Amino acid sequence: MSVVDVSTSGSAPGDREDLAWLYGPAPTRSPTDLPPRLSGPDRPDTLRGWPSPTPGGGLVRVPPTLLLGASGGAGVTTTAYGVASAAAEEHCPEVAPVIVDATPAGGSDLASRTADHRPPSATVQSWLASDHPGVGLPSAVDAVCGLSSSGARVLARDDRPLPRRESLVSVHRIVCNAGFTPVYDGGSPVGSPAVQPLLADGRISVGIVVAGRPDAANRLRPVLSWLDDHYGDYLLANTVIVVAQQTPFGGGAVVNHLRAHLGRWVRSVVEIPCDPHLAIGEAIRWDILAEATKEAYRLLLKELSS
């Protein structure tokens, strides 16, 4: 990817080889392979990839999603909220999105900004440390989560290490096996060791969030190079670039540049417009967001689910 020059436009890279094989099933024995489901009345009928109605008609399959920032302050938390809320807004009983704090240090403002209806009753650490045999049941997962007024659940984390030998793979396995759809707020950097097992699983959709500024967009080059070096074309071809506009001026040139130079290499580039409600930095409410912002998150959900 070339350096952004908002005064000029460049040609897109040349045609690549047919990459249709990249969209096949993930290899067996992936790091996040789920174990056989336990039986019992508290288990859901479906495990993952639940169908969700969309405003445009038809159904999309909502997969687990990992959102990462090209740099700090890119808007990953608000994007995770928007994706989860777009999945939850139709109140489809088969879809139960959970926003999970997967930031490297933990203890982000995820819970305070998104769980406006009900605060979480526990953190990931205290939940995983429980010896109760029913810790992975849907009712138990629901009980520890906070709740957004949009219907999305929120699984908070503090800055302590995860207990015992637990990891985000443990969280992913339990949350998915309980019938929920995790949406991970991975923050930055993209190379955080905690999220690497999730990046290795081709069944988890990946979005890279970048602020809508030339200097921020230029930071995509080392980020995408690192992903290509470690995970190859399979990941890049399925990655959605999310441009989060944080000011109402000058972001269109950045979006156009990224679409021209990355359109043949990534799944898509989606723009989230600047929204005054997001800009205040306080608790987010889906019903206060501008309709254009909500529609952008619905489009992003479709891209991540395609």
107 part of a folded domain: yes
What is the number of structural domains in the chain?
1
Range of the domain at 234: 60-305
Amino acid at 3: V
CATH number (domain holding residue 172)? 3.40.50.300
10 part of a folded domain: no
Task: Report which of 184, 171, 109 is spatially closest to residue 144, judged by C-alpha positions.
Answer: 171
Partners of 3 in the β-ladder: none
Residues 69 and 217: their CA atoms lie apart, in Å, by 11
According to the model, what pLDDT value does residue 105 have? 79
The ranges of the chain with pLDDT < 70 are 1-61, 90-94, 250
164 part of a folded domain: yes
Residues 303 and 306: their CA atoms lie apart, in Å, by 5
pTM listed for this prediction = 0.80
Instruction: Please count the CA atoms within 13 angstroms of the CA of 206 that sit on its side-chain side.
Output: 25
CB 156 within 8 A of CB 101: yes
- Residue 159 CB coordination number (10 Å): 12
51 part of a folded domain: no
CB 37 within 8 A of CB 43: yes
According to the model, what pLDDT value does residue 11 have? 35
53 part of a folded domain: no
Contacts 24+ apart (CB under 8 A), 169-174: 169/31, 169/32, 169/197, 169/198, 170/128, 171/100, 171/102, 171/124, 171/128, 172/32, 172/64, 172/198, 172/204, 173/32, 173/34, 173/35, 174/135, 174/136, 174/141
16 part of a folded domain: no
Angle, CA of 15, 243 and 285, to the nearest 5°: 145
According to the model, what pLDDT value does residue 106 have? 75
According to the model, what pLDDT value does residue 190 have? 93
289 part of a folded domain: yes
According to the model, what pLDDT value does residue 61 have? 64
Tokens describing residue 224: 């995408």
List CB contacts of 241: < 8 A, sequence separation 6 or more: 207, 208, 210, 220, 258, 262, 266, 268, 269, 270
7 part of a folded domain: no
Chain centroid to Cα 287, Å, comes to: 21
- Residue 104 CB coordination number (10 Å): 15
